[in-house]
Structure 1
Amino acid sequence: MVRNIRVKSLDFVFAIQRLVGIHEFRKEVKKVGVEPSKEIEGLIEELSTSVSMRVFEDLKLLFRKYYLDGMIANIAINNPDKNPREIIQLVKAVGPEGFYDAYIKEYVRPRETGEQGIKARIDELIENNTSQIIMTYSQLKKFKNEAPEIYYKCVETLTHFVASYEKIETRVNAIYDREIANFEEAMKDETKFRNSYLMIQFEGETHSLSDIDVCMTVLGEYVLMYKISEDHMSMKMILGFAMRNITSEKEETIEQEVFKCLGDPTKLLMIQMASKEPVCAKDYADRLKLSKATISHHIGLLLGLRLLTLHIQNGKKMYYSTNVELLRRLFDNFIGDLEANN
């Protein structure tokens, strides 16, 4: 079952991510050949002019050094009906002494209790992602002592920021209402929707995912993320609205985009590497000597076109493989069309 879940505060989190990483975002999308929405760029520019320099620097500290966006995003996803101010109240209710434990519970989510379980989970998250999304274990140990102080800064900064966000929130919601209609229409054909956006397998299987909650974001326009349940039976898909422009429903458009990817040296190398053996994100970054952020964007585009498939091995390890069958089919169709025209 695929269904749309409206997470009221998801764009609040992505507003901060986009704001503190605005210059990096523009550079990266330019590198991978996609265009940010001028409409969204205008909202972020407006947001940047209304946020004080002190709040901006504090947001960078909280999101870049302590990676608290992951914790706040998880709280938002687990409480989809809560607006940003209510999410802040949930953070506030944790209290300074419970802040560290809340971070572990809401974001790290170790599979085993104790320090070894926490360390193993952090190592797994760092290895499986193309960009750093969590503190290293040594950073986390320091954070444990600093957590009460960071708690007060977090609550204060988010309270100041929400006033600025609310100035654009109505327009963000209007874009959401406009764009979600397209996804809801696509969700009616569940098989087609899964084929377009579910680029993930568990030891070669996808049918075990019986429930998929789609959480669309406006301000995270090129995001495609999966939050999977421990039993692999359900999942939340975080989907940027602009991914619809990359993952086309028309086979002819897919052919054009695939051939365009094959003409890009980096994407071609990534496809070739993953055709020989499964490749993890770190392997791509190390072998191609590119930043994790650049690799992340390339992977997102290749997943969106189904040229790569994401495999979960041993319940946690993420690897990418080339979808050779898709390439073979597209080339067979292409040659068939050429022969038919002669």
Structure 2
Amino acid sequence: MVKSIRVKSLDFVFSINRLLGGHEFKKEIKKIGVAPSEEIEALIEELSSKVSMRVSEDLKLLFKKYYLDSLIYNLAVKHPELPPRELIALIEDIGADQFYEAYITEFVRPAESTEASIKERIESLIENNTTQIVMSYSQLKKFKHEAPEIFKLCVNTLKSYVETYELIEERVIKIYNREIVWLEADMVDENRFRNSYLMIQLEGETDAIKEITVCMTVLGEYVLMYSIHKSHQSLNMIVGFGMKKVISEKEKTIEQEVFKSLGDPTKLLMIQMASKEPVCAKDYADRLKLSKATISHHISILLGLRLLSLSLQEGKKMYYITNIEMIKRLFDNFINDLEQ
């Protein structure tokens, strides 16, 4: 089953991210060849002009020093339909005494509750993300003592900010109602949707996923993320309304680009090698007798097409594995198109 739901809490969180990180956002989306829409830029500029200096500075402290946006975002993903004030109430219910533990369990999520496991998990999160999304372990140890006061600041700041956010919320809802139409039209044919560009970006098997909930966000304009339930039977897809343009362009060319890569002897060998076992860049260079620069170029293309995926092996070392399920879905989609 495929369904869509209105994501009120996520738009609230994304509004803060856009407010604080507008320059970084523009740099990131430039990489996929798009620019922020004038309509959304106008809403963010209005927020910027109306939010108080104190609230703005406190948000920067909470999101840029303590990385609490990661915790708040995770809670919003788990409860996407909550209105912003109810999301804040959910955070307030955590309580000052449990705020540190909530950060660990809701976001860091170590394998065990030991200090060694927490440290290992934090190092992994920092290593595997291009931008820092979590406190360092030394920061976290300080935060453990500061958490009760930071909790009070967090709740009070969000309560102040939501009053400003509500000035644009009706216009956000209006954009959502206008843009959800195209996405729901794509969801009518479930089999085709499961093999669409949106779904082939997801790594791993999707056959076991019985329920897909599409959460379209307005202020997370070019977001495409997935949250899989522990049972692996349900999935939340978080997709920005601006992805419509990206999807349209990608679906015109992705099959051509994939077949072009499969037709390249070097890239095909790399795909075949990584389908048998995880392979690092040095392994590729040694076995194929190519320079690291050439291997890096090929890897970049294969990662971009999702033909390869990153995998951590032997601690922090980066290895690559073939995204076999993605290739299967792409070919299924291609065959379905031929048969129509």
TM-score range, shorter-chain basis?
A: 0.7 to 0.9
Q: How far off is 1:10 after superposition? A: 0.7
Residue 152 of structure 1 corresponds to which residue in structure 2? 152
Structure 1 counterpart of 2:26, which letter? R
Structure 1 position 168, deviation (Å): 0.4
TM-score, normalised with respect to structure 2? 0.74
Alignment RMSD: 3.7
- The structure, 1 or 2, with the larger RCO (C-alpha pairs under 8 Å, 6+ apart) is 1
Cα shift readout 1:293-337 (whole Å, capped 9, x = no counterpart)? xxxxx99xx76xx554647789xx9957589969x99xxxxxxxx
Q: CA deviation at 1:255?
A: 6.8
Equivalent residue number for residue 90 of structure 1: 90
Listed one character per residue, the Cα deviations across residues 145-191 of structure 1 (whole Å, up to 9, x for unaligned) are 11011111111111111111000000001111111121112112223
Paired residue for 2:13?
13
Aligned position for 1:197? 198
The equivalent of 1:339 in structure 2 is none
Give the number of aligned pairs. Answer: 298
> How far, CA to CA, are the matches of 2:18 and 2:270 in structure 1?
30
For residues 130 and 27 of structure 1, the distance between their equivalents in structure 2, rounded to whole angstroms, comes to 13
2:122 matched residue in structure 1: 122
Question: Which residue is equivalent to 1:134?
Answer: 134
In structure 2, C-alpha distance between the alignment counterparts of 1:46 and 1:175, rounded to whole Å: 16
What amino acid does structure 2 have at the position aligned with 1:84?
Answer: P
1:69 maps to a residue whose letter is D
Greater Rg, structure 1 or structure 2? 2
1:319–1:18 CA distance, 2 compared to 1 (3 A):
farther
Matched to 1:70, the amino acid is: S
1 CA distance for matches of 2:319 and 2:85? Answer: 35
Tell me how far apart the structure 2 counterparts of residues 118 and 95 of structure 1 sit (CA, whole Å).
22
Tell me by how many angstroms 1:30 deviates: 3.3
Code of the aligned partner of 1:24: E
Aligned to 1:267: none
Match of 1:247, SS state, is helix
Counterpart CA distance in 2 for 1:159 and 1:173 is 20
Instruction: Quote the offset at 1:65 in angstroms.
Output: 1.5
SS of 1:225's partner is: strand
Take 2:249 and 2:164, find their aligned partners in 1: how far apart are those partners?
A: 37
CA deviation profile, 1:241-268 (whole Å, cap 9, x unmatched)? 1112111288546579x59x99xxxxxx
TM-score (norm 1): 0.74
Deviation of the 1:143 alpha carbon = 1.1
Once residues 191 and 250 of structure 1 are traced to their aligned partners in structure 2, the CA distance between those partners, rounded to angstroms, is 19
Q: Structure 2: where are the runs of 5+ without partners?
A: 262-266, 281-291, 294-299, 332-340
Aligned to 2:210: 210
Amino acid at match of 2:142: K
Equivalent-residue separation in structure 2 for 1:273 and 1:160 (angstroms)? 56
CA 1:118–1:209 in structure 2 vs 1: closer, same or farther (change >3 Å)? Answer: farther
Matched residue, 1:333: none
Distance 2:215 2:181 in 1: 13
Q: Give the structure 2 partner of residue 232 of structure 1.
A: 232
| Cα contact 2:63–2:69 (8 A) shared by 1 | yes
2:87 partner letter: I
Q: Is the 8 A contact 2:309 2:323 kept in 1?
A: no
SS of residue in 1 equivalent to 2:209: coil
1:33 aligns with 2:33: yes
SS of the aligned residue for 1:200 comes to coil
8 Å Cα contact 2:2/2:213 also seen in 1: yes
Structure 1 residue 208, shift from structure 2 partner: 2.5
Distance 2:129 2:17 in 1: 17
Alignment partner, residue 74 of structure 2: 74
Q: Structure 2 CA distance, aligned partners of 1:25 and 1:94? A: 30
Alpha carbons of structure 1 residues 127 and 208: separation in structure 2 relative to 1, 3 Å: farther
The correspondence of residues 1-342 of structure 1 with structure 2, limited to 5 A, is 1-195=1-195, 196-198=197-199, 199-202=201-204, 205-248=205-248, 252=252, 254=254, 277=274, 306-308=305-307, 310=309, 321=322
Structure 1 residues 231 and 162, CA gap change in structure 2 (3 angstroms): same
Quick check: 1:201–1:312 contact (8 Å CA) kept in 2? no
